[in-house]
Amino acid sequence: MFTTLGKYILLIRLSFKKPEKFSVYWGEIMREMVSIGIGSMGIISIISVFIGAVATIQVAFQLASPLVPRSIAGSISRDSTILEFSPTISALVLAGRVGSSIASQIGTMRVTEQIDALEIMGVNAPGYLIAPKIFAGIIMVPMLVIYSMVLGILGGYLACAITGDIATTDYVMGLRDGFQPIIIQVALVKAFFYGFIITSICAYQGFYTSGGALEVGQSATTGVVYSCIFILFADLIITSAML
């Protein structure tokens, strides 16, 4: 465990060395931002709308008592969507989509000796391959989480409009009641760390791949599994510390 942690820290440290040519790194960052951000909007859109709708319907079912104001469903759906559903579930999905892609891409370059060729040419391979992915992750994952929040709340509104379990006016009233800005801050801090966890862990797994195609697949799977574990661990730590 300590050997793995040491290799991970040294790899991240080497990744953030001063770049040889900033313009090349900037182009890689832009390309990775498009891949992580734009490429993930479809799956994030579908998940966010349905999660927001399901959360609202379940809250409406549990608040069947006439003593409970119906508007509270909007407040509960809002807080649960912003605090937990949008950042954490989106990150778990991104770990599967983005993380596996990063691990398999770098792992394939390792087993086909493309990384060795970069190092022979004097290129800082971790900086060129890993740093742009990490920067893109910590920038685009919070943006995707904000996008997911909006769609999740919209999904709850659509559920109210379609099912009629809760009046849309009550839902909107609940969204406005008792809003605390700190829940947005907590969600964005989570998203920032999730972006770093996904990109760095999966890049580490891919960078130290050895063997052939089978090992590349195993590295991608391992990267996704460890990313999901550390996402949940970070979720617990950040929630405990900030709330």
pLDDT tens digits, residue range 48-84? 999 999 988 888 887 766 777 777 888 888 888 999 8
Residue 15 lies in a domain: no
Average the pLDDT over 133-152 and give the result. 94
> Is pLDDT of 22 > 70?
yes
- pLDDT for 225 equals 95
Residue 121 lies in a domain: yes
Contact at 8 Å (CB) between 87 and 145?
Answer: yes
Q: How far apart are CA 216 and CA 66, in angstroms?
A: 57
Average the pLDDT over 1-17 and give the result. 89
**Percent of the chain at pLDDT exceeding 90:** 56
Between 62 and 114, the more confident residue is: 114
Q: How far apart are CA 224 and CA 210, in angstroms?
A: 18
Q: How far apart are CA 205 and CA 202, in angstroms?
A: 5
Report the chain's mean pLDDT, rounded to a whole number.
89
Contacts of 206 (CB under 8 A, 6+ apart): 102, 103, 104, 105, 106, 107, 109, 110, 216, 219, 220, 223
Residue 2 lies in a domain: no
- Phi and psi at residue 158, in whole multiples of 5°? -65, -35
Domain count, the chain: 1
**Percent of the chain at pLDDT exceeding 70:** 98
- Among 195, 180, 168, 200, which Cα is nearest to 242's? 180
Residue 6 lies in a domain: no
CA 136 vs. chain centroid, Å, equals 11
Q: Which domain holds residue 30?
A: 22-242
Confidence of residue 189 (pLDDT cuts 50, 70, 90): very high
Between 124 and 46, the more confident residue is: 46
- pLDDT for 64 equals 65
- pLDDT for 194 equals 96
Q: How far apart are CA 220 and CA 105, in angstroms?
A: 9
Residue 3 lies in a domain: no
- pLDDT for 65 equals 66
- pLDDT for 141 equals 95
Residue 153 lies in a domain: yes
Worst-scoring range by mean pLDDT, 19-33, 191-205, 225-239? 19-33
Average the pLDDT over 175-179 and give the result. 84
Contacts of 96 (CB under 8 A, 6+ apart): 224
> Is pLDDT of 137 > 80?
yes
Contact at 8 Å (CB) between 97 and 40?
Answer: yes
- pLDDT for 237 equals 95
Q: 134 burial class (0-12, 13-18, 19+ CB within 10 angstroms)? A: buried
Q: How far apart are CA 83 and CA 152, in angstroms?
A: 12
Residue 128 lies in a domain: yes
Between 174 and 238, the more confident residue is: 238
> Is pLDDT of 4 > 80?
yes
Tokens of 241: 């510390």
Give 86-95 pLDDT, tens digit per residue: 999 999 999 9
Q: 54 burial class (0-12, 13-18, 19+ CB within 10 angstroms)? A: middle
> Is pLDDT of 24 > 70?
yes
H helices of 16-164, in order, are: 22-36, 41-62, 72-80, 90-94, 100-111, 114-120, 125-129, 131-163
Residue 11 lies in a domain: no
- Among 84, 101, 81, 89, which Cα is nearest to 39's? 101
